[in-house]
């Protein structure tokens, strides 16, 4: 692991550098040029994110950066071992940039969010998420998580004239600060254990190498390691809305600007899973698997998360709260791929998160456009949506079918891969619980479809305007919901290949 600054180090962070340039451009454009047409700020954010996305994929397709073979060795570690530039980092960068791109498009015609600060904070949060996915060091994980979290707290309470938004921001901040503090304490305990045996390292792979060697750590330290794992699970569990660290989710999702809710429910969740997968598959708390002391904690969280999320969603009358509990349940499904600790499971989780970006943002995009007209998020606002706007009803239909796991959508394939990985690893009972929960979820997803197509509304004659930018964002989402449901092999092969880096670091 070299400590000499090279051009490769710069290339390893080129997407993040591009986002920093975009952030500066947004603030300068808003403050210096003061555009008359406020929509242009959102357009700059959207196409800036798209440009960075093309740059990121172009580096990989044209110059093989990151290299899939080099990514399995210590040559993939940069900046003193703080950053790992591998296919995992690439996939999560794509997820975050897609979320930023589509969120910017569907936000363009929301008047109260047509401000440079809003989009700049979205970009800042994306930088934090991207660095979280690339982190190979406990210190880097903390710095990246705080970069993303502070931006997210402000975004949640961005609409200061709305009491619900201010409340959401404050709750998110308080709960997030406590979760982060506990996580940081867990990191300090882990570092203290390593220092006591003469290995004062914060690199998760070096820590994993030490803890995976029997006899290196005295047996009496196992309790402290388990406590450190539990405290760090609190911090990561908060980011992915896993039970019992989910309690902030319904209130924050409901009170925050819906555009931010769409963003945080996808990008933030993916970033949490990226760190979860990095830390636990690296052996940071010992060899991953059923023999690990903390495995029972993760498996319990997985089962309870998808069960509680689905049953709580049934009783919701607010569409944003319903989608909040749905998001909790989706985190439970994705955790199945984490807890089996196999390349197939980790690859399935990454594919699930990739398809979830398109699915959930499509659903929230429709909610935004309906709210612009109705001023509320009540489920009754969806009555007769097919007569008011067949296009929006169709988008919502595909989003709900994908969330429910109905073919030929991406959600069906995502659940299939996750459940298949569990069965192959011998956890058939976990896959069965996931399937039963998916049937429970169909109750409230199909109920919404019933409202849209079979119910009538007094507002059927009131049109719902959909701007060209929103049409593009929703069309992109629906296209990939269908495409990944019909032709998923290349994307899953990509995530499966990347997952090998979770379990390998040689040289």
Size of the chain in residues? 507
Closest CA to 371 of 404, 315, 323, 311: 323
CA 438 to chain centre: 20
Q: In whole angstroms, give the CA distance from residue 405 to residue 399.
A: 10
Residue 1 lies in a domain: no
| Higher pLDDT pick, 348 / 30 | 348
Give a yes or no: residue 184 inside a domain.
yes
- Count of helices and strands (H, E) across the chain: 21, 2
pLDDT value at residue 113: 86
Residue 438 lies in a domain: yes
Pick the closest to residue 403 from 394, 390, 412 (CA basis).
412
**DSSP structure string for 123-142:** HHHHHHHHHHHHB-BHHHHH
How would you classify residue 6: left for phi > 0, otherwise alpha for psi between -120 and 50, otherwise beta?
beta
- Give mean pLDDT, residues 309-318: 93
Query: Does 423 score more than 80 pLDDT?
Result: yes
Whether pLDDT at 312 is above 90: yes
Binned at pLDDT 50, 70 and 90, residue 296 comes out as: confident
For the segment 435-439, the average pLDDT, to the nearest whole number, is: 95
Residue 157 CA, chain-centre distance (Å), reads: 20
Spatial contact of 412 and 402, defined as CB atoms under 8 Å apart:
yes
Q: What's the token pair of residue 374?
A: 């109705």
408 to each of 204, 403, 487, how far by Cα in Å? 39, 12, 10
Total domains present in the chain: 1
Q: Is 2 part of a structural domain of the chain?
A: no
Alpha carbons 363 and 398: distance in angstroms, whole number: 9
Q: What pLDDT does 284 receive?
A: 76
Beta bridge partners of 468: none
Tell me the pLDDT band of 306, cut-offs 50, 70 and 90: very high
Q: Residue 406: inside a domain, yes or no?
A: yes
- Expressed as residue numbers, the domain containing 307 is 7-502
**456 exposed, middle or buried (CB, 10 Å; 0-12, 13-18, 19+)?**
exposed
- How many angstroms separate the CA atoms of 315 and 57, rounded? 42
- Judged against a pLDDT cut of 80, whether residue 2 lies above it is answered with no
* Alpha carbon distance 385, 427 (integer Å): 41
| pLDDT at position 7 over 90 | no
Name residues whose C-beta falls within 8 Å of residue 59's C-beta, 6 or more positions apart in sequence. Answer: 11, 14, 65
% of residues, the chain, pLDDT over 70: 96
What is the C-alpha separation between 405 and 441, in angstroms, rounded? 9
Determine the pLDDT at residue 478: 96
Name residues whose C-beta falls within 8 Å of residue 223's C-beta, 6 or more positions apart in sequence.
none
The per-residue pLDDT of the chain, averaged, comes to 89
pTM, two decimal places: 0.94
Q: Is the pLDDT at 111 greater than 60, yes or no?
A: yes
Average pLDDT over residues 393-409: 94
User: Which whole number is the average pLDDT over 141-162?
Assistant: 92
Angle ∠(318,324,327) on CA atoms, nearest 5:
145
Per-residue pLDDT tens over the stretch 95-106? 999 999 999 999
In a 13 Å sphere around the CA of 7, the CA atoms on its Cβ side amount to 1
Distance (Å, whole) CA 505 – CA 507? 7
Q: Which residues of 45-66 are buried (b: 16+ CB within 10 A; e: fewer)?
A: bbebbbebbeebeebbeeeebb
Summarize the confidence of residues 476-497 as an average pLDDT: 94
Q: Please state the rounded mean pLDDT for residues 283-309.
A: 84
Predicted confidence (pLDDT) at residue 247 exceeds the cutoff of 60: yes
pLDDT for res 285: 78
pLDDT at 507 over 50: no
Give tens-digit pLDDT for 70-96. 655 666 788 888 888 888 999 999 999
CA 306 and chain centroid, separation: 16
Q: And the tokens for 81? A: 């071992």
What is the maximum alpha-carbon separation in the chain?
Answer: 74
In a domain, 507, yes or no: no
461 CB-contact burial (10 Å; exposed 0-12 / middle 13-18 / buried 19+): exposed
Percentage of the chain beyond pLDDT 90 is 61
- Over the stretch 256-289, which tens digit does the pLDDT of each residue have? 999 999 999 999 999 999 998 888 887 777 777 7
pLDDT tens by residue, 168-219:
999 999 999 999 999 999 999 988 888 887 777 788 888 888 777 755 677 7
Q: What is the pLDDT of residue 456?
A: 81
Q: Report whether 173 contacts 153 (CB < 8 A).
A: yes
Q: Facing residues of 284 across strands?
A: 286
pLDDT of residue 501: 79
Q: How confident is the model at residue 506 (pLDDT cuts 50, 70, 90)?
A: very low
Q: Please indicate, yes or no, if residue 459 is contained in any of the structural domains.
A: yes
Write the DSSP assignment of 400-447 as a string of letters: HHHHHT-TTSHHHHHHHHHHHHHHHTT-HHHHHHHHHHHHHHHHHHHH
Average pLDDT value for residue range 481-488: 94
- DSSP 3-state of 355: helix
């Amino acid at each position: 692991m070299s400590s000499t600054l090279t051009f490769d180090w710069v290339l390893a962070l080129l997407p993040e550098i591009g986002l920093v340039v975009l952030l500066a451009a947004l603030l300068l454009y808003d403050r210096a040029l003061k555009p008359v047409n406020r929509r242009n700020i959102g357009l700059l954010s959207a196409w800036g994110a798209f440009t960075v996305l093309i740059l990121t994929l172009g580096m990989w397709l044209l110059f093989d950066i990151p290299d899939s073979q080099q990514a399995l060795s210590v040559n993939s570690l940069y900046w003193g071992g703080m950053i790992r530039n591998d296919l995992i980092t690439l996939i999560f960068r794509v997820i975050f940039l897609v979320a930023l791109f589509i969120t910017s498009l569907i936000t363009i015609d929301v008047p109260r969010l047509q401000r440079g600060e809003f989009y700049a904070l979205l970009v800042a949060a994306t930088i934090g998420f991207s660095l979280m996915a690339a982190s190979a060091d406990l210190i880097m994980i903390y710095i990246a998580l705080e970069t993303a979290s502070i931006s997210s707290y402000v975004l949640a309470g961005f609409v200061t004239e709305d009491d619900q938004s201010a409340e959401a921001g404050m709750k998110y901040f308080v709960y997030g600060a406590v979760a982060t503090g506990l996580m940081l304490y867990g990191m300090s305990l882990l570092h203290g254990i390593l220092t006591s045996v003469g290995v004062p390292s914060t690199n998760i792979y070096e820590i994993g190498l030490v803890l995976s060697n029997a006899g290196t750590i005295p047996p009496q330290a196992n309790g402290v390691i388990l406590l450190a794992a539990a405290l760090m699970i609190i911090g990561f569990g908060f980011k992915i809305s896993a039970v019992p660290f989910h309690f902030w989710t319904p209130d924050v999702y409901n009170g925050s600007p819906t555009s931010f809710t769409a963003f945080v429910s996808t990008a933030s969740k993916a970033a949490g899973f990226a760190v979860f997968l990095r830390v636990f598959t690296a052996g940071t708390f010992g060899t991953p698997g059923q023999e690990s002391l903390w495995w029972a904690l993760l498996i319990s969280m997985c089962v309870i998360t998808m069960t509680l999320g689905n049953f709580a969603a049934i009783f919701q009358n607010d569409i944003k709260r319903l989608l909040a509990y749905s998001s909790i349940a989706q985190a439970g499904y994705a955790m199945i791929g984490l807890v089996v600790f196999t390349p197939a499971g980790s690859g399935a989780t990454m594919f699930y998160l990739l398809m979830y970006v398109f699915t959930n943002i499509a659903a929230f995009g429709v909610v935004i456009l309906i709210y612009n007209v109705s001023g509320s998020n009540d489920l009754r606002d969806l009555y007769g949506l097919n007569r008011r706007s067949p296009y929006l009803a169709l988008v919502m239909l595909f989003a709900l079918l994908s969330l429910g796991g109905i073919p030929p959508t991406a959600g069906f394939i995502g659940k299939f891969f996750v459940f298949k990985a569990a069965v192959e690893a011998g956890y058939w009972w976990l896959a069965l619980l996931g399937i039963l929960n998916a049937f429970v979820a169909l109750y409230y997803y199909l109920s919404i479809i019933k409202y849209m197509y079979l119910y009538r509304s007094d507002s059927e004659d009131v049109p719902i305007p959909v701007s060209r930018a929103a049409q593009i964002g929703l069309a992109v989402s629906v296209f990939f919901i269908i495409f990944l449901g019909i032709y998923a092999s290349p994307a899953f092969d990509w995530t499966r290949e990347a997952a090998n880096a979770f379990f390998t670091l040689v040289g």
